[in-house]
């Protein structure tokens, strides 16, 4: 029973991850295009090529770093689910519960834990895809001579980790990383950052145009405050 329950829960994990991964190209393209359209609205004479979901799906096949796809580790997942089933059945026996009561305990506690894990994985992946789309557009804009800073925007509620509240409103050049007590991170959901810095994150990335660069000479012209800050560095 333990083995069958663990296998079913692992299969549920796999289905949830596959569904989430399938939605990421849409999320990525939506956010990439949103930043592009925002820049075009603010900057006369600049235009950016938009991407569609199908294009992103095709690109993912050749560039595995484009999107933060998640993969279920079957062995690890089964061990974790087996331990959960074991724990709940043992607790039921110790407390003298009937078979229907133990079944209810499994349905409530193990089922809710599995659901919560799936939701957290989905949230982490979507946050990463959203902000990867935004940062990639800022990188592409830089190639066209638009210099932009990125801004960390934290979710303001009791579930937001202290490190991300400390980052809220911080502004750094698009080619630099944010840094908190949890380490360096390029954008909310950055899969290359420490897990404690990304897992279940709901923060987002904003931006501010701070200058322009000549694509032929490479010379930069930054607005007063930002030029001074760059010189000081």
Report percent pLDDT > 70 for the chain. 95
Better pLDDT: 8 or 27: 27
**Per-residue pLDDT at 4:** 85
What band does 226 get if pLDDT is binned at 50, 70 and 90? low
CA distance 14 to 72: 6
CB 129 within 8 A of CB 28: yes
CA distance 56 to 115: 29
Whether pLDDT at 50 is above 90: yes
Tell me how far CA of residue 104 lies from CA of 39, 110, 193, 232, in angstroms: 54, 10, 39, 63
Report percent pLDDT > 90 for the chain. 55
Q: Give per-residue pLDDT as tens, 107-127.
A: 888 888 888 888 888 889 999
Q: What is the layout of strands, in order, in the sheet containing 220-222?
A: 171-173, 146-153, 204-213, 220-222
**Per-residue pLDDT at 126:** 93
Whether pLDDT at 21 is above 80: yes
Of the listed ranges 5-14, 24-33, 154-163, the least confidently predicted one is 5-14
- Say if residue 36 is exposed, middle or buried (CB neighbours under 10 Å; 0-12, 13-18, 19+): buried
How many helical (H) and strand (E) elements, i.e. helices and strands, does the chain have? Answer: 8, 6
Range from 56-65, 96-105, 176-185 that averages highest in pLDDT: 176-185
What band does 224 get if pLDDT is binned at 50, 70 and 90? low
Report residue 162 as tokens. Answer: 């202290």
CA distance 146 to 91: 61
Whether pLDDT at 198 is above 70: yes
Element (H, E) at 95: none
Neighbours of 89 (CB within 10 A): 19
Question: Span 45-64, mean pLDDT?
Answer: 89
Beta bridge partners of 74: none
Whether pLDDT at 225 is above 70: no
Query: Is the four-CA dihedral 182, 188, 194, 200 of positive or negative sign?
Result: positive
């Amino acid at each position: 029973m333990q083995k069958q329950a663990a296998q079913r829960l692992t299969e549920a994990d796999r289905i949830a991850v596959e569904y989430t991964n399938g939605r990421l190209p849409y999320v990525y393209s939506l956010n990439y295009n949103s930043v592009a359209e925002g820049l075009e609205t603010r900057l006369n004479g600049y235009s950016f090529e938009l991407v569609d979901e199908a294009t992103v799906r095709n690109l993912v096949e050749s560039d595995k770093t484009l999107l933060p796809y998640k993969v279920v580790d079957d062995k690890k997942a089964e061990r974790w689910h087996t331990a959960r089933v074991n724990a709940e059945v043992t607790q039921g026996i110790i407390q003298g519960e009937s078979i229907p009561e133990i079944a209810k305990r499994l349905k409530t506690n193990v089922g809710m834990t599995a659901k919560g894990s799936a939701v957290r994985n989905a949230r982490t992946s979507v946050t990463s895809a959203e902000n990867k789309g935004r940062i990639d557009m800022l990188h592409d804009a830089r190639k066209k001579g638009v210099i932009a800073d990125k801004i960390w925007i934290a979710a303001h509620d009791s579930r937001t980790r202290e490190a991300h509240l400390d980052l809220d409103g911080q502004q750094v050049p698009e080619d630099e990383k944010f840094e908190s007590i949890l380490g360096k991170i390029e954008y909310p959901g950055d899969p290359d950052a420490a897990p404690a810095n990304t897992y279940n994150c709901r923060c987002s990335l904003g931006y501010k145009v701070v200058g322009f660069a000549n694509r032929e000479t490479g010379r930069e012209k930054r607005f007063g405050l930002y030029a001074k800050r760059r010189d000081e560095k």
